[in-house]
Amino acid sequence: MGFGLDQRYWAGQIGPCTEANRFITFDNRGVGRSTGAMVSTIDEMAHDAVRLLDHLEIEQTTLFGASMGGAIAQRIALDHPDRVSALVLAITWARPIDS
């Protein structure tokens, strides 16, 4: 999910998506019901997400990222292309905006 938001913001999508798919939501460390200190980089959050895939024994998946979650999803797709069957991005960015 996006910066500072937790998995509850996916509630509206879960029902329609789970009719034909498994839909997994989670909180980044330090947000919502997660444990541990908040992480500060997209790379760390992407690594955490890949570790979750490993823990759930998911070899390949469709990633859906909104806002900051989209940046995390892009990092995963770049670092682990074999793990990503499709990438869905919403209201996100590919790199920080230069000022």
Domains and CATH numbers, the chain: 7-90 (3.40.50.1820)
Q: What is the pLDDT of residue 48?
A: 94
Please give the average per-residue pLDDT across 60-65, as a whole number.
92
Whether the CB-CB separation of 96 and 72 falls below 8 Å is answered with: no
What is the pTM for the complete model shown?
0.79
Structure tokens at 16: 């329609």
Q: Strands, DSSP E only, in the chain? A: 61-66, 84-90
Confidence band of 3 (pLDDT split at 50, 70, 90)? low
| C-alpha angle 93-50-11 in degrees, rounded to nearest 5 | 65
